[in-house]
Amino acid sequence: MYFATYEYKSDQAIGIVLKEEKQMIPLRDIFQAIDRNCPANMNEFISVFDDNMMEEIQSIIKSNKVEAIDINDVKLCAPIPYPKRNLICLGKNYLDHAKETQGLPGGTTEIPKYPIYFSKIANPAVGDGDIILSHRNITEMVDYEVELAIIIGKDGINIEKEEAEDYIFGYTIVNDISARNIQRKHGQWFKGKSMETFCPMGPYIAHKSIIPFPVELDIICKVNQEIRQNSNTKKLIFDIPYIISDLSKGMKLKAGDIIITGTPAGVGLGFKPFKFLNPGDIIECYIEKVGSLTNTFEM
């Protein structure tokens, strides 16, 4: 099951995406059919969702009681347009990416022994089809990073690796847009990754029930159709159970939290000469079974 936030007739709503049929089923109508109040947004939906609700939703969809919208008639937003907290990010979590950034100005020379955590402001996050602003007055080194994002489904602290999957709601794609000169200038990554529109997210959330665990998915980023990044999430240095267990030691994870798991080799910074984004570039981030997220860099 795929969950989306979308705009239809200038109204923002949450819905179920039927990928094959290319349709959106408004959750508001589904909740009306089961005689419950519809959560106001994706954050609220995640916090009340459980297996029973999934069965109820599935049976309503099968019964054809609810009218679908043609997916071409909606504008997809980031599935969580207003994350409640900053995104939790991992740096250098693919070996080939850790190597490509070795020795570069601002890069360290080591492969991490422990996860590198940092955070990114993504409120609001932008969706599929949206423009990434260039911020040309302060940077000409804007880079792309395709990443698998984990959406946490329930609050938890001191989570064991073996129970990590229980705390996941689903997965989406985040393009961790980064202004490299600003990352370097400030000696840490927070500001260079937190500028307006620097968090394209989507196109929707794939519920965990459709993603086999452990999560081994092809992950690709193309710029103007040229493949720049091409890997598989099985190559994460610190895998998903490790990340959830380690992060949650003494630090509560909350429903709706978003953890982005790092990017593989092939970012613009890894090329000689660099391949940063140019005006009008089209960036497509793809993850198997999750979908495809496409954005244009401001002209």
Binding residues for Mg ion, rule: CB under 5 A, are 145, 176, 263
| Residue closer to Mg ion (CB basis): 4 or 277 | 277
* Least Å from the CB of residue 187 to Mg ion: 17
Report, in Å, the least distance between residue 80 CB and Mg ion: 17
Q: In this complex, which beta carbon is closest to Mg ion, that of residue 61 or of residue 89?
A: 89
Cβ distance 68 to 74 under 8 Å?
no
What are the backbone angles phi and psi of residue 71, rounded to the nearest 5°? -65, -25
Measured from the CB atom, is 89 or 164 closer to Mg ion?
A: 89
Least distance from C-beta 84 to Mg ion, angstroms? 20
The pairing of beta strand 11-18 with beta strand 282-287: unpaired
Burial class (CB in 10 A: 0-12, 13-18, 19+), 226: exposed
Q: Work out how close the CB of 65 gets to Mg ion at its nearest, in angstroms, rounded to a whole number.
A: 42
Nearer to Mg ion, 5 or 263 (CB): 263
* Pair of tokens at residue 250: 């003494």
Q: Which amino acid is at 111?
A: I
Kindly state the tokens that stand for 212: 């086999």
C-alpha span between 158 and 153 (Å, rounded): 15
Q: Which of 23/229 has CB closer to Mg ion?
A: 229
Please identify, using beta-carbon distances, which residue of 80 and 88 lies nearer to Mg ion: 88
Q: How far is the CB of 146 from Mg ion (least distance, A)?
A: 9
CA gap 6, 275 in Å, rounded? 32
Tell the smallest beta-carbon distance from residue 17 to Mg ion (Å): 26
Give yes or no for a cis peptide into 105 (omega within 30° of 0).
Answer: no
Closest residue by beta carbon to Mg ion: 176
Q: DSSP per residue over 120-179, as a string?
A: E--SSPB-TTPEEP--TTT-S-EE--EEEEEEE-S-BSS--GGGGGGGEEEEEEEE--EE
Beta carbon nearer to Mg ion, 5 or 101: 101
CB of 196 to Mg ion, least distance (A): 17
> How far is CA 86 from each of CA 122, 131, 206, 253, 259, rounded to the nearest angstrom?
6, 21, 21, 12, 9
